[in-house]
Structure 1
Amino acid sequence: MHVPVRVGVIGCGNIFSRYATGMSRFPGLELVAVADVDAARAHVAAAETGAAACTVDGLLGRTDVEVVVNITPPTAHAAVSEQALAAGKHLYVEKPLADTTAAARATLAEADRRGLMLGAAPDTFLGSAGQTARAAIDAGAIGEPVGATAFVTHSQAETWHPDPTFLFQPGGGPALDMGPYYLTALVNCLGPVSAVYGASRIGAPQRTVTAPGRLVDRIDVAVPTHTAATLTFASGALATVMMSFDVWDHHLPFIEIYGTEGTLSLPDPNGYDGPVLLRRHGDPQWAELPPAVPPLARPGTDEQLLRGIGVADLAAALRDGRPHHATAGLAFHVLDALESIGVSAGTGAPVELASTCERPEPVDGTYGAEALKTLETHP
């Protein structure tokens, strides 16, 4: 049995507990240190987890930290990643990989130069829903994929996040905040994107924050909050994608994929599990497909929002040489597609992507089995 990979987390804000609790499900991971620019937050996180509270420099100087998990705000991703790589640490970065492709490209180059592993969110495609949809497509259940739709609707962060200002400033917006979940799910199913065409606008120019314990009352919006795009995939499939902070109510699906012989309907890609529905041409009704791999958590519970499988994926690749799925190359390609949609929206012209990526290999379900076993032991 391998010694667990020892992890240090930089960033103890709103999603820290999702990572800390989520990573605790995997016996191959051990959280040993936490850090934040706000020392008080680091000490609270340390008290909750039993890890050591550190400064950022202190965490990066620890010899027992092998992998750094960077869950700082998006505009800080590149700078913190650079520090971690310079300290010789393997790295896993919350989405997006950086707030621009230029910064993300520098991160990839530095990791490659130093021979360090680099993984990145989102990792939700590794759950049972993403893997079930992938298996159905690979098995020809819908014939040749022709098109897809994806709808990113309002996360209503103003109602629950104490300070969602970053979501409405450069580096934020629905495309960079929620778009990575949806585009990663599409790339997992359909392969890399070759070209995009987009249009966008700001909805309400000012947002009112109503969250309990809010730190701000109003936010001036500085980035588009409603984007419509057409994506062309290298496979020839076409996708229509809407990403919006202005759609509060709707009857829209999350993701549907249309083929020459049928349709797949996928659940919310912000979670790992949920029903994947298939309806082949002529079928009288939708059929729920059996999960291709064990669920990571009980569907319909808050455990669906726990994170950590991407870190476990990187650790398994580091320790065991198993395939690495939530790669920085995949995250970079998704970021490139999202940034290119913004460029297209500004110029009114389609953009051909310079990047591509490998379609990630299917997973074997080990992570889900580990997570469920831990949940059964410690409900």
Structure 2
Amino acid sequence: MGQPLNVLNIGIVGCGNIVAQYLATLPSLETLKLVAVADLDLARAEAVAAELPGVRALSVQELLDDGEVELVLNLTIPAAHAQVALAAIAAGKHVYGEKPLAATSAEAAEVLAAAAAAGVTLGCAPDTVLGTGTQTARRAIDDGLIGRPISATATMMCPGHERWHPNPDFYYVPGGGPLLDMGPYYVSSLVTLLGPVQSVIGAASHTRDSRTIATGPRAGEQIPVSTDTHVSGVLIHESGALSTLVMSFDAVATQAANIEVHGETGSLIVPDPNIFDGEVKLRRLGDSEWETLPVSGGYVDASRGIGLHDLATTAPGREPRAGGALAFHALEVMESVLRSAHTGQLVKIERTCPRPDAVPLTQTTLTREALSSPARA
């Protein structure tokens, strides 16, 4: 630790739908090198490796045992996130995972504790919060352009992932649903903008007992639904700001798939936190029009996987911006909203997290000179 890092060698576990988005980013990040891929279905790993010269297809255990792999990118389904992360940590490897950090906060706590004990670094999606959209809004708040923040709204409404995903089963079981699937983008952004949450109030509904797969070889198949598919919550931030969250797989569409932040002297429209960029708009007290703010923070032209670079270039002893602490906090907040929905009571958040560091305006594609900065070995 503490020595300049030339390249951090990455091994991917899980070669499902999401892997293509990471593979589109990794070649542009010169701090990272993909060396191996693995999947329970070895044929899927072999198909991915065949398109990537120099990348080896391995079994999951072979990848975990491989001495060349320094960080495991965990792209398995949510139910397997903790198991794979713990195995990678036990093998002495850093871990960066898809969201959520684990299927439950109890499992996530095990992962955090294991990483701390092993002295390895833990990162987790979503890394969209590192893009110019959320980070320009963060800069505006930090610069006082809206005065003291009072409230925020965060909305995601869609008819459900069975309309496009060929194997959507895991979206409709405990650990899935709109809140745990899409909520990490919104909650992570709200914490980045307004700081950690101290308590929540929630309500939820479950409108259908089955869903019909619309695409792929299973088109027409009915799958059961055993989790809430429309969730609303109020997040009470430690700062006193109140955020209203609405996540749904039951609606048709919304024009407000974004975040709004309101302060004493101004309001912000923040882009959809499921994307990296987008316009940030400000309306000041007394103005009659919205103004588009110049881009002032975040990784420029970022895409999924920039969080791996952020982890690789985080100074020793510092928490990555898309780190385990933020991912755990977001998961506990979401679980607490669901618990409140089922009990009808306010739920206090037990574990806080630091507000992640702001990202200065930074070009995404790095030069070799950038590799001389302190990074994690």
Does the TM-score normalized on the shorter chain lie above 0.5? yes
Q: Does 1:109 align with 2:113?
A: yes
Match of 2:370 in 1: none
User: In the alignment, is the contact (CA less than 8 A) between 1:293 and 1:368 conserved in 2?
Assistant: no
> How many angstroms does 1:253 deviate by?
4.5
Q: 1:158 and 2:155 equivalent?
A: no
Distance 2:112 2:317 in 1: 20
3-state SS in 2 of match to 1:24: helix
Please tell me the residue identity of whatever aligns with 1:338: M
SS of the residue corresponding to residue 254 of structure 2 reads coil
Paired residue for 1:276? 280
Give the secondary-structure state (helix, strand or coil) at the position aligned to 1:178. helix
Which residue, 102, 127, 130 being the options, matches 1:123?
A: 127
Q: CA RMSD in A?
A: 1.7
1:83 equivalent among 81, 87, 91: 87
Number of the residue aligned with 2:145: 141
2:332 maps to: 336
**Match among 303, 307, 313 for residue 304 of structure 2:** 307
User: Which whole-Å CA distance do the structure 2 matches of 1:324 and 1:253 have between them?
Assistant: 27
Aligned to 1:170: 174
Unaligned 5+ residue runs, structure 1?
Answer: 298-303, 372-379
Specify the alignment match of 2:371 in structure 1: none
Structure 2 runs not aligned, ≥5 long: 368-377
Find the aligned partners of 2:71 and 2:204 in 1 and give their Cα distance: 38
| Pair 1:266-2:263 in alignment | no
Cα displacement string for residues 9-52 of structure 1 (whole angstroms, at most 9, x for unaligned residues): 00000101111211222011000000000111110111122310
Aligned-partner Cα distance in 2 for 1:227–1:180: 13
How many angstroms apart in 1 are the aligned matches of 2:363 and 2:213?
38
Structure 1 SS opposite 2:155: strand
Select the structure with the greater relative contact order (CA < 8 A; seq sep ≥ 6).
2
Q: Tell me if structure 2 keeps the 8 A contact 1:161–1:214.
A: no
Partner secondary structure for residue 313 of structure 2: helix
Match for residue 360 of structure 1 among 353, 356, 361: 356
State the shift of 1:293 in Å: 3.3
How far, CA to CA, are the matches of 2:318 and 2:361 in structure 1?
Answer: 13
**CA separation of 1:110/1:321 partners in 2, compared to 1, >3 Å: closer, same or farther?**
closer
TM-score, structure 2 length as denominator? 0.92
- Residue 316 of structure 1 is matched in structure 2 by 313
Greater CA drift, 181-190 or 250-259: 250-259
Measure the CA separation in 2 of the matches of 1:215 and 1:89.
Answer: 39
Assess if the C-alpha contact under 8 Å between 1:201 and 1:226 holds in 2. Answer: yes
The verdict on how the C-alpha distance between 1:289 and 1:214 changes in structure 2, with shifts beyond 3 A counting, is farther
Alignment partners' CA distance in 2, 1:130 and 1:192? 16
Cα distance in 1 for partners of 2:266, 2:297 equals 22
Distance 1:216 1:171, change over 3 A: farther
Q: How does 1:1-379 map to 2 (within 5 A)?
A: 2-50=5-53, 51-154=55-158, 156-214=160-218, 217-293=221-297, 296-297=300-301, 306-317=303-314, 324-368=320-364, 370=366
Amino acid at match of 2:61: D
Aligned-partner Cα distance in 2 for 1:321–1:339: 29
Structure 2 equivalent of residue 377 of structure 1:
none
2:374 aligns with none
Distance 2:298 2:195 in 1: 23
1:365 to partner: Cα distance: 3.2
CA contact (8 A) 2:158 2:251 kept: yes
Question: Contact conserved, 1:143 with 1:261, CA < 8 A, in 2?
Answer: yes
Q: Is the 8 Å Cα contact of residues 207 and 221 (structure 1) preserved in structure 2?
A: yes
Identity %: 46
Query: Following the alignment from structure 2 to structure 1, what is the Cα–Cα distance between the partners of residues 364 and 350?
Result: 35
Change (3 A) 1:215 1:33: farther
Query: Quick check: 2:139–2:297 contact (8 Å CA) kept in 1?
Result: no
Q: State the shift of 1:211 in Å.
A: 1.6
The answer to whether the 8 Å contact 1:293/1:364 transfers is: yes
Deviations 1:307-341 (A, max 9, x none): 111111111127x7776211100100010000001
Offset of residue 215 of structure 1 = 6.3
Cα deviation, 1:229-249, whole Å, max 9, x if unaligned, reads: 111000000011101101112
Distance 2:147 2:180 in 1: 31
Contact 2:159 2:251 (C-alpha < 8 Å) held by counterparts: no
